[in-house]
Structures are given as C-alpha cells and as structure tokens.
C-alpha cells in the first residue's frame, strides 16, 4: 500500500496506484504524488497525535458550551466566576491545540 498526496488540495490517501481523480477535489491523477517512505512515516507517526489534539479542541469547545450554560443559569457570583474562568482557560487550550496542528500541517505531519 502506498500513500499519495493530491498537490491541488493536500488530501492524502492509501492506494496501490494513484486514483484517477482526487476524492476531495477531483484533481486528475497527474496532480497526485507518491509520498516517500520518510514523508509517509511522518503522516502515520503523527496521525494519533493529530487525533488527540482534535479531541482536545472538541473537549475545550464542550467546556465553553457548558460554561456558557452555567453563566446563563447565573446561580451565584461564585458559579459565574468558575464558568468565566473556564471559558478563558478552555479558549487557550483550544488555541494551543490548533496552533500545534497548524505546525504539523506545515511540517507535512498531516
């Protein structure tokens, strides 16, 4: 099994031979490159880590949603303080993970 990358959109796929058309953007196979073993290994090695970062983004988004619901209830100032602080921290976590994913993409670890 080989790993190919569409140079038009960056979509990566496994196949024995290049597909006629990119499943993502439809670019013809002349636009698909066979990744070197080194480049393929970067993608496989970072796959799980990328998934974990995306999960952090999702969890942080859930924390923000929960905190916004808590602020709306507005039970008491202590509650609101916790929810407001949570929103700030979750926002930071979310953006830390997004920044790391951005770095992975620029280094071919995606």
Name which of 27 and 93 has its Cβ closer to Zn ion.
Answer: 27
Stretch that binds Zn ion, among 6-14, 34-42, 82-90, 96-104 (CB under 5 A): 6-14
SS3 content of the chain, % helix, strand, coil (to 5): 65, 15, 25
Task: For residue 8, state whether it binds Zn ion (rule: CB under 5 A).
Answer: yes
Eight-class DSSP state of 18: -
CB of 7 to Zn ion, least distance (A): 8
- Which pair of structure tokens corresponds to residue 76? 């008491």
Q: Which residue has the tokens 């916004």?
A: 68
Beta strands per DSSP E along 1-110? 2-6, 12-15, 32-34
Stretch that binds Zn ion, among 24-32, 37-45, 50-58, 97-105 (CB under 5 A): 24-32
**Of the candidates 2, 17, 24, 92, which one interacts with Zn ion according to CB under 5 A?**
24
Task: For residue 27, state whether it binds Zn ion (rule: CB under 5 A).
Answer: yes
Contact 67, 89 (CB under 8 A): no
User: Contact residues for Zn ion (CB under 5 A)?
Assistant: 6, 8-9, 11, 22, 24-25, 27
């Amino acid at each position: 099994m080989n790993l190919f990358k569409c140079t038009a959109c960056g979509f990566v796929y496994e196949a024995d031979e290049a597909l006629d058309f990119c499943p993502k953007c439809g670019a013809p196979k002349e636009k698909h490159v066979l990744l070197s073993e080194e480049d393929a290994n970067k993608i496989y090695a970072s796959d799980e880590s990328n998934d974990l970062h995306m999960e952090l983004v999702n969890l942080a988004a859930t924390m923000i949603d929960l905190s916004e619901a808590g602020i709306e209830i507005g039970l008491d100032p202590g509650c609101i303080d916790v929810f407001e602080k949570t929103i700030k921290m979750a926002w930071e976590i979310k953006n830390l993970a997004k920044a790391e994913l951005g770095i992975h993409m620029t280094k071919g670890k995606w």
